[in-house]
Structure 1
Amino acid sequence: MLRGLTTVSFRAADLDAAKRWYAELLGIDPYFERPGYAEFRLGDHQHELGVIDSRYAPGGAPAGPGSGPGGAIVYWHVDDVQAVFAKLLSMGAKEYEAPVERGPGFVTASVVDPFGNVLGVMYNAHYLEVLDVGRAVGGGA
């Protein structure tokens, strides 16, 4: 069955602009590139964020800015939702959902990046608990 997140893929009509935007946001360059595709490794578990040229989108997929946001919302854990949300807006992303406290230890927000993808950020107490357990079992992360 489902064993873990491997790659989250976003599409962009201007792949070069998307690579630059995500490189600036993440503070790293793509670690893997092919024509029409770039991939970043990030976070505590080195998950992959792929950016794909929109022309490779399956039929019927949203075409990017102006066609409405598309895809599922994937939330990436961050330590400060308000600060990251503000940074995303300052970089040209548009508010999709302002920060909302979902309960003790859970805050979510999401934006639409300049390429039409929904990017979610979340402070998630369970994520931190699982990370701490992994560090205790594995001796570090």
Structure 2
Amino acid sequence: MNNNILGLRTTIYMVPDIEKAKSWYTKAFDTDPYFDEPFYVGYNIGGYELGLQPEKVGQKRADNIESYWGVKDIRKEHERFIKLGATEHTEIREVGGGIEVTTLLDPWKNVIGLIYNPHFKLP
């Protein structure tokens, strides 16, 4: 089968104050942005793009879309995000095969998913 879908490339979080969000995400992901403009801040997180964009006036928020960032220790990272000002959206739970997931809300109510998956290997 010739699949033209190559996999996840970018997750973008809309924020009302891009400078405050840049400061928070730099600490939360322990990474400096590689691209930093008023209209977009981009981070390289393990080869994947995390982007921040200014929220548009009247834009509605949704928590029905979740992207999960892989972690080595889900409990440690969950606690670290909470200490940085995130709030728990869903508790850490095992979803089968030793895979654990949780979601948190950043200070602007964007959903950030964390996943521990001992079976996941990049191609």
TM-score, normalised to structure 1's length? 0.78
Whether 1:38 aligns to 2:41 is yes
> What is the SS of the residue equivalent to 1:126?
coil
Of structures 1 and 2, the larger Rg is shown by 1
Rounded Cα–Cα distance in structure 2 between residues aligned with 1:99 and 1:31:
31
Corresponding residue of 1:93: 86
Whether 1:124 aligns to 2:117 is yes
- The ranges of structure 1 where at least 4 consecutive aligned residues each deviate by more than 6 angstroms after the TM superposition are none
TM-score, normalised to structure 2's length? 0.88
* Aligned 1:1-141 pairs, distance under 5 A: 1-43=4-46, 46-55=47-56, 61-62=60-61, 70=63, 72-127=65-120, 130-131=121-122, 134=123
Rounded Cα–Cα distance in structure 2 between residues aligned with 1:25 and 1:49:
12
Larger relative helix fraction: 1
**For 1:62-94, what per-residue CA distance to the aligned partner results, in whole angstroms no more than 9, with x for missing partners?**
2xxxxxx53511011101111111011111111
Rounded Cα–Cα distance in structure 1 between residues aligned with 2:79 and 2:31:
20
Question: In the superposition, relative to structure 1, how do residues 10 and 3 fare at CA in structure 2: closer, same or farther (>3 Å)?
Answer: same
Counterpart contact for 2:12–2:52, Cα < 8 Å: yes
Letter in 1 for 2:67: V
How many equivalent residue pairs? 120
CA RMSD between the two structures: 1.7
Unaligned ranges ≥5, structure 1: 63-68, 135-141
**For 1:73-129, what per-residue CA distance to the aligned partner results, in whole angstroms no more than 9, with x for missing partners?**
1011101111111011111111100100112320001100001110000111231xx
